[in-house]
Structure 1
Amino acid sequence: TNTSDRRKIHESLENGELQILIGTHALIEDKVKFKNLGLAIIDEQHRFGVAQRSKLWQKNTSPPHILVMTATPIPRTLAMSVYGDLDMSIIDELPPGRKPVKTVHRFDKNRLKVFGFIRDEIKKGRQVYIVYPLIQESEKLDYKDLMDGYESVVRDFPQPEYQVSIVHGKMKPEAKEYEMQRFVEGKTQIMVATTVIEVGVNVPNASVMIIESAERFGLSQLHQLRGRVGRGADQSYCILMTSHKLSNDSKVRLETMTRTNDGFEIAEVDLKLRGPGDIMGTQQSGVLNLKIADIVKDRDILKHARFYAQQILKQDPSLANQENKVLLNTYKQLSKYKNIWNYIG
């Protein structure tokens, strides 16, 4: 959005003329002010940090209602839902006419068979994504792997029979948009890309997602990438490519992806692997410092505890009764460390 348009939007927001605003991370900037923000909806919640989400709370004198949406809740959010600090709605059915994506794990030695499968799908008129990891810490090496992979694909799928697109974060926006558009219009059959295609890409004709070095991706990213296919009526496939050398956590992630398409089940495995994070702070995963309880294994006990806590507060909201003095003292101790973070989902 150019500067003059932004100025008009800011003015309309502050005087209340504008009722609905749709935007990116730019909405959390300090200069974006609302007359009376009543509801904030955060899509793809896992792409925002806790501190970023908290800024929306501070956009109004009384905090707005917050709705967060995601295919795979981050461990901290899942933990908060277990504690009961978040109300949850789960959409666990596919739109009419769509089929569940079939997910398989293949080792690098099976690459020729995988390429044969790609050819078969392209003959049926389908399109294919091939995604490479691009991690900041090893960016140069990953970029080389991406380009090597692209050259290998172009060799195995030569022109004029096949057209191959490439998309990555180092490209200029116009070049990226051009390549994306070619793929959307069906002018290219294969798109080699990094995780820039993780969200916001909708090509119903794309039926195959191949994820290279799948062991290097987190469960949330793997599930998001798989969600790029299966958007049409045809059967879609997700192929997780890895070397034979896998850590135990990687094996669990790959087994989970091949076993289920349920984002909530995937998030629960992620919670077990990474820990629930800091509910009173900004850490979105990690070890929660509970003395005895285990937030995953003891979920039922936590639900019971929350139920009884609610009963006590109904009968004695200020915890003034003698039998609740211990609870009041404990609450006062905890309140010393209280901040906004424990309200942010």
Structure 2
Amino acid sequence: MDLDTEIKELPKIGPILHSKLSRLKIRRIRDLIYHLPFRYDNIGAETKISNVTLGNMVSVRGEVTESKNIRTKYGKLLTIAKINDGTDSLNSVWFNQPFLLKTIRPGQRLSFAGKVDLFSHKPTLINPEYELEGQFDTKAIHTRGLIPIYPETSGLSSKWFRSKLREVLPIVLPKIEEFWPSEVLKRNSLIPIRQAIYNIHFPEKETQVASAKHRLAFDELVLIQLKASDRRKKWNQTGNGVKLSTPQEDILKLISNLPFTLTTAQKKSLKEILADIARKKPMNRLLQGDVGSGKTIVAAIASYVAFLNGYQIAFMAPTELLVLQHFNTIKSLLEPIGVKVGLKTASKKTKAGDFDIVLGTHSLISKKTEFKKLALVIIDEQHRFGVEQRALLRKKGLTPHVLTMTATPIPRSLALTLYGDLDISIMDELPPYRKKVKTFLVPKQKRNGAYEFIRKQVKSGRQVFIIFPLIETSETLITVKAATKEYEKLKNTVFPDLKVGLLHGRLASEEKEKIIGYFSKGKYDILVSTPVVEVGVDIPNATVMVIEGAERFGLASLHQLRGRVGRSSHQSFCLLFTESSSKTVTDRLSALEKTHSGLKLAELDLKLRGPGQIYGLAQSGIPELKIANIGDINLIKKTREEADYLFHKLKSSKLPTLKKMLGEESFVPPD
């Protein structure tokens, strides 16, 4: 058995368990040992039963003197056991688990851990964890000390993970080789990798958890950055991009005919992009800017340059709604000056070769799509151009310039870490014609007043979005049902005099387009929606964005939702509805009332919410770090320096284990 052994080869892992483990992305032993605890319950040391007090978590050990199943007069099935450690006796009770009698039998010596409460007027352990004394030599893993709690799924409890890891670690740990040079370990106060893995799963004290987390967070960040450096190196080595010169007169004419003036940020980003595409080395740039900062215009001008050079452009976005929005913008801008703009979606089949600019979802670059002379690929809201997509283009003999766009506000330090293979342009300025959206936090008691404000806005000819949060991590039927229920209430009870529509992610693309079309034409006054509206809906007449359960969203997601209004000369408003009276929630949400910069809000969210998934929607494309805290700017800077040092050291053969980890065949050391 080693790290690459498939998990299904372990004893007692049949097809059902294998399927459950796959749900947690555990397919090999490596995945199991890197399935890390997200917290620890501190049970403390063993307590004598005579010292046990009510209301406390305790760990006790002794002999079972009696055990039985009984049914109460209300029909509940209880398993009751009495344990004696020589100082006193203590009862334990479990609900609806009659099978426990097979293990918890009189005469058995067991260790128990749980909370002591009164039950039938006696101090009792309620639903305690337990383990046989013979199972744990001197160290209990379920009932004493720091108990790791893991991400779980139905049928796979933290107890299962602890037991399986105790079985696996002694076999695989000796086979794990250290991959950092000794000077890196010393310079960064890192414990050896074997010690870190053991201590993260079976710590004896909190300092061991801290040193293990520090080591594993360091590993995670440096490896991400080494792989990014590798991608950059490979991208630079392709070298066969197309040089696209900028016909100054034509571009200045296009810019002067725009119905607005480009912002300083747009001009700067455009200059960087045009400098990139003028080189033979293919561009690989991330264009980051708030919703409404004018990224599409910059991309359209770059596309026009490629067109004037006689080449084709592919423009991709994650949803058909967003593709349609970009299509309308680019078509209105470039078709009048002779550019053929085409749309290729599941519902609209188009031959890519017939157009100068082809827009579609990410399936646009597929085996079946034939391009004429592709020189520029623009990707919206998917932060990394996939390895498979690049491989497909190479097979077609193409190495286009790639521009990726995102409205997700990523702090620069984080962007440099996660996207070290990309050059970054930041557009941190809104066009002067866009008014700031006035934002208000609406507590429960002011809800009716907010409804009246909405009614007045509609009566004056404006339209309204009302957003409901995802109840689960993806758009499940539960979320759709909840949004549907609220839609019925708003339509029939709150706004019976207004026209209310419903949009959610479970609808077919054609249905979504139809509903957005109705809203756009004014057939609905109010559109109730799940966060599917965050990307790709452009309704200039909508001036009110209402967000229900605002505390469930990250500031970055709230800011992007807010960006769906404020797209005309009318004053727009964002109303944050929350049922929470928590000061932490209020402080966090009130930041939106004062701050209109997506980047500032993202930085603030890092401080307020710490590690984890702060960006809300999965479509943000940000990889979820397993253990590193993306708010730990000092560690990010330190690991960036180490990654640069190690990347240049990799050209020597002194780091074979590290090369193997990164994938020897695919890894390209620097010159």
Q: Helix, strand or coil: the match of 2:589? A: helix
Task: Report matched runs for 1:176-191 at 5 Å.
Answer: 176-191=512-527
Q: What one-letter code is carried by the residue in structure 2 that aligns with 1:268?
A: E
What corresponds to 2:386 in structure 1? 53
Task: Name 1:335's counterpart in structure 2.
Answer: 659
Deviates more, 1:100-109 or 1:129-138: 129-138
How many residues align structurally?
Answer: 310
Aligned to 1:101: 437
For residue 533 of structure 2, what is the aligned residue in structure 1?
Answer: 197
Distance 1:37 1:198 in 2: 30
Deviation at 1:148, TM superposition (A): 2.4
With normalisation by structure 2, the TM-score equals: 0.40
Compare relative contact order (CA 8 Å, sep 6+) and give the higher one, 1 or 2. Answer: 1
Structure 1 partner of 2:623: 284
Are 1:91 and 2:427 an aligned pair? Answer: yes
The partner residue of 2:496 within 155, 158, 163 is 158
In structure 2, do the counterparts of structure 1 residues 258 and 45 end up closer, same or farther at CA, with 3 Å as the change threshold? farther
The 8 Å contact of residues 78 and 268 in structure 1, kept in 2 or not, is answered as no
Residues 7 and 208 of structure 1: is their aligned pair in 2 closer, same or farther, counting only changes over 3 Å?
A: closer
- Rounded to whole Å, the distance in 2 between the matches of 1:43 and 1:126 is 29
Give the superposition deviation at 1:35.
7.4
CA separation of 1:34/1:181 partners in 2, compared to 1, >3 Å: closer, same or farther? closer
Paired amino acid for 2:464 = V
* Residue 212 (str. 1) matches residue 548 (str. 2): yes
2:481 and 2:599 map into 1 onto residues whose CA distance is 35
* Residue 231 of structure 1: how far off its partner (Å): 0.4
Task: Report deviation, 1:94.
Answer: 1.6
Decide whether the 8 Å contact of 2:345 with 2:360 is kept in 1: no
For residue 266 of structure 1, the aligned residue among 591, 601, 609 is 601
SS of the residue corresponding to residue 60 of structure 1 reads helix
Query: What SS does the aligned partner of 2:569 have?
Result: coil
Q: 1:236: how far off?
A: 1.1
- Unaligned runs of at least 5 residues, structure 1: 320-324
Query: Counterpart of 2:595 in structure 1: which amino acid?
Result: T
Aligned residue type for 1:144:
K
> What is the CA–CA distance in structure 1 between the aligned matches of 2:470 and 2:650, rounded to whole Å?
52
Structure with the higher strand share, 1 or 2: 2
Distance 1:25 1:218, change over 3 A: farther
Shift of 1:4: 12
In 2, the alpha carbon distance for the partners of 1:150 and 1:124 equals 22
Which residue does 1:322 correspond to in 2? none
CA contact (8 A) 2:611 2:631 kept: no
Match of 2:166 in 1: none
8 A contact 2:417–2:636 mirrored in 1: no
Tell me: CA distance 1:25–1:82, structure 2 relative to 1, closer, same or farther (3 Å).
closer
> Deviation of residue 135 (structure 1)?
4.3
Contact 1:276 1:285 in 2 (8 A): yes
CA spacing shift, 1:45–1:341, aligned 2, 3 Å? farther
Secondary structure of 2:424's aligned partner: coil
CA drift at 1:247: 9.7
Distance 1:4 1:110, change over 3 A: closer
* 1:212 Cα deviation from its structure 2 partner: 1.0
| Displacement after TM superposition at 1:30 (Å) | 4.7
Indicate yes or no: 2:361 matched with 1:24.
Answer: yes
Deviations 1:72-127 (A, max 9, x none): 14689934358854322111222231111122222333211210211222233211
CA distance in 2, matches of 1:200, 1:258: 24
User: 1:34: Cα distance to partner?
Assistant: 5.6
Structure 1 pair 203–63 and aligned structure 2 pair: CA distance change class (3 A):
same
**Equivalence for 1:244:** 580
| Local SS of the residue matching 1:134 | coil
- Stretch deviating more after TM superposition (22-31 or 267-276): 267-276
Which TM-score applies when normalising by structure 1?
A: 0.71
Task: Name 2:407's counterpart in structure 1.
Answer: 71
Residue identity matched to 1:254: L
CA contact (8 A) 1:133 1:194 kept: yes
Unaligned 5+ runs, structure 2: 1-343, 615-620
Change over 3 Å in CA distance of 1:77–1:20 after alignment to 2? farther
Larger Rg: 2
Q: Give how far 1:208 is off.
A: 0.6
1-structure distance, mates of 2:623, 2:662: 17
Cα 1:135–1:75 shift into 2, 3 Å: farther
Code of the aligned partner of 1:151: E
The answer to whether the 8 Å contact 2:345/2:361 transfers is: no
Percent of pairs identical after alignment? 41
Question: Aligned partners of 1:20, 1:294: CA distance in 2, in Å?
Answer: 40
* Contact 2:467–2:531 (Cα < 8 Å) also in 1: yes
